């Protein structure tokens, strides 16, 4: 008997990294790895489910920066080169491990996986957004939007014009790609600041998500806790709170599934393990060892000793973890149903890149889970937020609390000793952008181009990813560089626009480098 | 409210005996508060996973990236306040030289004896006019600081900050005033919607479930600790992401690989251990194997393009690991 709803959400995002000015750029690999390890495997899961007639529902963010990169011809060309190299390496590995039976099978596994990634990539005309769109059009997937460049909204509250620009640019970009308006938004880092729902409402967005305490600590007290959405006071935008119990089962590497000893070890890659001359053609041209994506070991145990990965064992674990997850949700739903007197909704959001990239077996687990939910039980039903709101339009009205899903639950990840210096400059740039829009409400020609580019530079500087990387304290030079670079470009544009001395050659150069959002309209920043 | 007391007690019980939350005071005047990365903190795992997206070593390429610097400040009088969490707010500011000069001429000698102060006003539920704050406190700052973290200790309250001078006679002069911010609540709201009234015990159970205290959920310890301990002990803020420090264990790893290479007529067909091998255009070939212990026979056979001639050479390799 039906007891409650389960709303799975995958948040797919990568910052905009695209460097046409360099032949080979290490940070672009973030995208290539995610394509091979996360996006293609997810698409394959969806394809398999549809082919087998298994009904499923999944809500998924594709951030505007991610959509832009997936659709970019230069990055597509470079991905093809990247995956061809990976296939070549896997082929060599099959040869090298000929006398090493366990490893030989694994080398073949990677060879097949990489070849399949290339086939899938080519099948969708090199743009995987088409694949996701296909499943949205089939009614299985609900694709939601995100901040244009994933700016962390709570720390942009002193310049709400920028929050508005982040939302409006994202919404119009979504419309141009999917031919319809987005129903919902994933607030970057799940960061909500009271009042920002007004901006969402203006943009026609009907729902968003917060972390558990965003709803639980809202005011007035939410009657059903996080197991029913609430409407924001004054705007009626719906807010769904995250369920921590189901989150933790998947996220946690200690007590969660991904830490199972039979699963693949993320940190042992042949890019670091094999003899230097052999691996050199497949690592960074500067000679720095990097991940190749070929990883032969299972987690094995808490120590440093690692044993070879056994595909079948991992597969069995993924199936049993999927069964366990479903069982727990059934129990949870049935318990909550008794308590609430109505079906609860359990909202379980995850980083999409957790699946496949960090947790290699994640897509497989998801596949098992969808199949089991469809075939093995009738207590929980998968649902998207839009469908839920249609079926359950009456909800409580509250003001959700400031919150994020970052470390410690608020803004500290992005506001600490190592990254707090950026806000002085980011806020100043926002203020100046607003000033420019006021001075030039109807620019055209060269000035309009410069104003549009100024907004692109501002948005790119605002990505929460830079603050995040600075906060973690590792590999910070790229994040510093990007923050400064976009701010400096913005400042120069601001000065040139105001003094009517726009350097067209330079403008064309940065338009070519930072080519995101070709249809941007600077006037949204107000 | 009784019910919440109960929930809190329940939370207390769930925290392992002997568990102490270290409130380490760093000796140096750390103005950035924070805690050691704590795996049980909400958001810890999200942080690790997100960081894995960016897991690459940095290539040495500084030469390619010589960059201009951002300005130190922007020639304006400004102070900005932002919320970090339910108890802490952050502020940054800048003052024009012109402003300081005019203060100097206005205050005369007092200027040099004045102390720079942040005055933090509690302006909860009022429209602040400069003199009607619920309460305020002062923080003395030095001339070099241009930002500060402030422990308000008050979740769910509104604040405003003045940057100003405290004169020797006790007068306070405001130079710039910040925006108003509101800290979030640290627990559930005490306001219950009348139309949607819900018995406290029911909500407490829901609340407990949300934090993983229900009977089907042993998880959520992070939250319990959070509620119990308060988030914010002092110390140097550091990365939650760096992987757990490896236990001290010396290690070494040795492996053997075997390279078999040769050359023949480019048109010949070559097999190694019975498997065909691709020749390079010049007729050379290279194979590389992971080498197990024991004896390996590796027959390499070449058959001429017209299939009339053949040669076989068989290296025998013995690996013995002690």
Cβ–Cβ below 8 Å for A30 and B209: no
Touching check for B77 and chain A: CB below 8 Å?
Answer: no
The Cα of B188 is separated from the nearest Cα of chain A by a number of Å equal to: 4
pLDDT at position B59, please?
Answer: 56
* Positions of CATH 1.20.1430.10 in chain A: 416-524
User: Dihedral angle at the C-alpha atoms of A438, A443, A449, A455, nearest 10 degrees?
Assistant: 20
Residue B281 inside a domain? The answer is yes
ipTM of the complex: 0.93
Cβ–Cβ below 8 Å for A221 and B189: yes
Query: How confident is residue A211, by pLDDT bands cut at 50, 70 and 90?
Result: very high
pLDDT at position B49, please?
Answer: 75
Task: Check whether B94 has a pLDDT greater than 50.
Answer: yes
Query: How confident is residue B65, by pLDDT bands cut at 50, 70 and 90?
Result: low
Using an 8 Å CB-CB cutoff, list chain A residues near B233: none
Among A52-56, B2-6, B79-83, B231-235, the least confident range: B231-235
Task: Check whether B135 has a pLDDT greater than 70.
Answer: yes
Using an 8 Å CB-CB cutoff, list chain B residues near A100: 290, 292
**Does residue B52 or residue B310 have the better pLDDT?**
B310
Three-state SS letters, chain B = CHHHHHHHHHHHHHCCCCCCCCCCCCCCCCCCCCCCCCCCCCCHHHHHHHHHHCCCCCCCCHHHHCCCCCCCCCCCCEEEEEECCCCEEEEEEECCHHHHHHHHHHHCCHHHHCEEEEEEEECCCCCCCCCCCCEEEEEECCCCCCEEEEECCCCCCEEEEEEEEECCCCCEEEEEECCCEECCCCCCCCCCCCCCCCCHHHHHHHHHHHCCCCCCCCCCHHHHHHHHHCCCCCCCCCCCCCCCCCCCCCCCCCCCEEEEEEECCCCCEEEECCEEECCCCCCEEEEEEECCCEEEECCEEEECCCCCCEEEECCEEEECCC
Show the domain range for B311. Answer: 257-319
For the residues A27-52, what does the mean pLDDT come to?
97
Q: What CATH number did the domain enclosing B297 receive? A: 2.60.40.10
Q: Rounded CA gap, B149 and B164, in Å?
A: 17
Q: Which residue of A has its CA nearest to B90?
A: A415
pLDDT at position B28, please?
Answer: 34
pLDDT at position A309, please?
Answer: 97
Q: Which of B48, B60, B84 sits opposite A253 (nearest CB)?
A: B48
The arrangement of secondary structure in A416-524, i.e. its CATH architecture, is Up-down Bundle (1.20)
pLDDT at position B192, please?
Answer: 74
Cβ–Cβ below 8 Å for B239 and A472: yes
Task: Check whether B114 has a pLDDT greater than 50.
Answer: yes
pLDDT at position A285, please?
Answer: 85
Q: Which residue of A has its CA nearest to B59?
A: A288
* Positions of CATH 3.20.110.10 in chain A: 4-71+127-253+310-407
Residue B269 inside a domain? The answer is yes
Most confident of A31-45, A380-394, B284-298: A31-45
Task: Check whether B217 has a pLDDT greater than 70.
Answer: no
How would you class A375 by CB atoms within 10 Å of its CB: exposed for 0-12, middle for 13-18, buried for 19 or more?
A: exposed
Using an 8 Å CB-CB cutoff, list chain A residues near B206: 224-225, 227, 336, 339-340
Q: How many CB atoms lie within 10 A of CB B152?
A: 18
Task: Give the global pTM.
Answer: 0.86
pLDDT digits (tens, 9 = 90+) for A102-157: 899 999 999 999 999 999 999 999 999 999 999 999 999 999 999 999 999 999 99
pLDDT at position B288, please?
Answer: 86
Touching check for A104 and chain B: CB below 8 Å?
Answer: no
The Cα of B278 is separated from the nearest Cα of chain A by a number of Å equal to: 12
Task: Please state the domain count of chain B.
Answer: 1
**Does residue B96 or residue A253 have the better pLDDT?**
B96
Touching check for B290 and chain A: CB below 8 Å?
Answer: yes
Domain A4-71+127-253+310-407 indexed as CATH 3.30.1330.10: no
Query: How confident is residue A44, by pLDDT bands cut at 50, 70 and 90?
Result: very high
pLDDT at position A191, please?
Answer: 98
pLDDT at position B282, please?
Answer: 86
pLDDT digits (tens, 9 = 90+) for B175-207: 999 999 999 999 988 887 644 544 455 456 666
Among A176-180, A241-245, A275-279, B231-235, the least confident range: B231-235
Instruction: Calculate what percentage of chain A has a pLDDT beyond 90.
Output: 89
Task: Check whether B234 has a pLDDT greater than 50.
Answer: no
């Amino acid at each position: 008997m039906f007891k409650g709803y389960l709303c799975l959400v995958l948040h797919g995002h990568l910052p905009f990294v695209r460097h046409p000015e360099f032949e080979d750029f290490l940070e672009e690999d973030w995208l290539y790895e995610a394509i091979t390890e996360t996006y293609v495997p997810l698409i394959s899961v969806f394809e398999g489910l549809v082919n087998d007639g298994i009904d499923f529902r999944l809500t998924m963010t594709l951030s505007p920066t991610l959509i832009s990169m997936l659709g970019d011809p230069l990055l597509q060309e470079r991905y093809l080169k990247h995956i061809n190299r990976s296939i070549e390496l896997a082929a060599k590995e099959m040869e090298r491990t000929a006398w090493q039976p366990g490893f030989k099978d694994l080398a073949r596994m990677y060879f097949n996986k990489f070849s399949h990634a290339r086939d899938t990539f080519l099948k969708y005309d090199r743009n995987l957004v088409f694949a996701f769109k296909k499943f949205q059009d089939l009614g299985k997937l609900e694709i939601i939007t995100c901040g244009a460049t994933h700016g962390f909204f709570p720390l942009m509250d002193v310049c709400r014009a920028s929050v508005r620009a982040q939302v409006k640019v994202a919404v119009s970009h979504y419309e141009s790609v999917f031919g319809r308006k987005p129903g919902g938004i994933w607030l970057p880092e799940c960061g909500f600041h009271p009042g920002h729902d007004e901006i969402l409402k203006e943009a026609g967005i009907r729902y968003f998500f917060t972390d558990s305490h965003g709803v639980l600590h809202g005011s007035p007290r939410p009657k059903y806790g996080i197991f029913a959405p609430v409407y924001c006071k004054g705007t009626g935008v719906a807010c769904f709170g995250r369920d921590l119990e189901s989150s933790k089962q998947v996220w946690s590497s200690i007590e969660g599934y991904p830490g199972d000893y039979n699963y693949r070890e993320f940190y042992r890659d042949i890019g670091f393990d094999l003899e230097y001359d052999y691996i050199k053609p497949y690592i960074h041209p500067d000679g720095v060892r990097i991940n190749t994506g070929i990883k032969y070991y299972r987690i094995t145990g808490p120590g440093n000793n690692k044993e070879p990965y056994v595909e079948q064992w991992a597969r069995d674990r993924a199936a049993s973890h999927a069964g366990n997850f479903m069982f727990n949700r059934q129990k949870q739903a049935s318990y909550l149903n008794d308590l609430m007197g109505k079906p609860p909704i359990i909202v379980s959001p995850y980083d999409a890149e957790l699946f496949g990239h960090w947790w290699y077996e994640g897509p497989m687990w998801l596949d098992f889970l969808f199949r089991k939910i469809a075939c093995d039980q009738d207590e929980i039903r998968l649902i998207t937020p839009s469908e839920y709101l249609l079926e359950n339009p009456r909800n409580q009205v509250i003001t959700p609390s400031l919150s994020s899903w970052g470390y410690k639950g608020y803004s500290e990840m992005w506001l600490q000793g190592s990254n707090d210096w950026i806000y002085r400059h980011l806020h100043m740039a926002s203020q100046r952008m607003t000033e420019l829009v006021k001075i030039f409400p109807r620019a055209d020609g060269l000035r309009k181009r410069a104003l549009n580019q100024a907004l692109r530079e501002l948005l790119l500087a605002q990505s929460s990813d830079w603050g995040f990387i600075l906060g973690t304290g590792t590999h910070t030079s790229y994040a510093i560089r990007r923050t400064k670079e976009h701010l400096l470009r913005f400042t120069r544009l601001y000065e040139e626009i105001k003094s009517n001395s726009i350097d067209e050659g330079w403008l064309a150069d940065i338009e070519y480098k930072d080519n995101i959002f070709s249809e941007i309209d600077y006037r949204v920043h107000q | 409210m009784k019910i919440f007391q109960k929930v809190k007690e329940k939370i207390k019980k769930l925290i392992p005996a002997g568990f102490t939350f270290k409130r380490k005071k760093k000796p140096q005047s750390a103005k950035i508060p924070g805690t050691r990365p704590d795996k049980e903190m909400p958001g810890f795992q999200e942080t690790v996973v997100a960081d894995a997206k960016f897991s690459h070593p940095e290539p040495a390429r500084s030469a390619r990236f010589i960059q201009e610097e951002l300005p130190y400040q922007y020639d304006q009088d400004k102070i900005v306040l932002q919320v970090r969490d339910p108890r802490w707010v952050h502020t940054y500011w800048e003052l024009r030289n012109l402003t300081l000069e005019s203060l100097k001429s206005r205050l005369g000698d007092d200027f040099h004896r004045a102390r720079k102060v942040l005055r933090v006003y509690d302006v909860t539920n009022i429209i602040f006019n400069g003199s009607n704050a619920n309460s305020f406190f002062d923080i003395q700052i030095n001339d070099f600081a241009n930002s500060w973290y402030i422990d308000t200790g008050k979740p769910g309250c509104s604040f405003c900050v003045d940057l100003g001078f405290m004169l020797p006679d006790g007068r306070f002069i405001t130079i710039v005033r910040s925006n108003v911010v509101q800290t979030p609540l640290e627990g559930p709201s005490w306001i219950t919607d009348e139309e949607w009234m819900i018995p406290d015990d029911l909500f407490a159970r829901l609340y407990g479930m949300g934090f993983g205290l229900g009977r089907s959920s042993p998880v959520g310890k992070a939250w319990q600790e959070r509620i119990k301990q308060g988030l914010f002990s002092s110390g140097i803020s550091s990365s939650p992401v760096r992987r757990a420090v490896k236990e001290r264990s010396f290690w070494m790893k040795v492996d053997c690989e075997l390279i078999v290479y040769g050359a023949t007529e480019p048109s010949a067909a070559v097999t190694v251990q019975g498997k065909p091998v691709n020749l390079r255009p010049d007729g050379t070939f290279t194979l590389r194997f992971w080498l197990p212990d024991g004896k390996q026979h590796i027959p390499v056979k070449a058959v001429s393009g017209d299939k009339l001639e053949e040669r076989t050479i068989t290296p025998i390799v013995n690996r013995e690991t002690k």
